[in-house]
Amino acid sequence: MDSKGEIILTIMASLAQQESQSLSQNVKLGIQYRYQQGEVQVNHNRFLGYTKDEDKRLVIDPEGAEIVKRIYREYLEGASLLHIARGLEADGTLTAAGKEKWRPETLKKILQNEKYIGDALLQKTYTVDFLSKKRVKNNGIVPQYYVENSHEPIISRDLFMQIQEGLVRRTNIRNGKNGKRRVCSSKYVLPSIVYCRQQL
């Protein structure tokens, strides 16, 4: 290919990139507008406890909702995330992605997800590169929108707040006031009754 052909290809590639960037920006603006209007967009195929109706609104999936309630109930009763995971696996309960393996990190996200009380925090992540489509956690770089009562809840607000307090309390106990990590057992009914041993 001669130099003239290379120049033409370079120009065409540049124009294509500009068009892609413009399209990405338009899509981003459209999404932000819908967020401002309180429209909740969720991938319900991987959202335990919910599905969507014909109008694309979140509605409760009874079977999945029972699993969510079980996770919240067992954690409130003092079970550790690992203990809950093992129990779900033993019962043959599948994750929202249809997998047999439950991870404590997945359970923690379920316990911290405000959508289970009927609210929705929008734009938790955002795209940093329109070419690679890479998404990262939103730490205040772009606006977030909190929509209350956007859909039917599975968990009560009181229970949700108890769980959040429990998550913080167990983290503090596990880490220890002096910064040394401690190993804790949460096999007891009351989450405040926790027996720990100090790791030297």
What is the C-alpha radius of gyration for the chain, rounded to an integer number of angstroms? 23
| Cα dihedral 133→136→139→144 (10° resolution) | 50
What's the length of the chain? 200
Would you state the pLDDT for residue 99? 95
Q: Which residues contact 60 (CB under 8 A, 6 or more apart)?
A: 49, 50, 51, 152, 154
Q: Which CATH superfamily is domain 40-174 in?
A: Putative Large Serine Recombinase; Chain B, Domain 2 (3.90.1750.20)
Report pTM: 0.67
pLDDT tens sequence across 125-157 = 777 765 566 778 877 777 878 889 989 999 999
Q: Where are the domains of the chain?
A: 1-37, 40-174
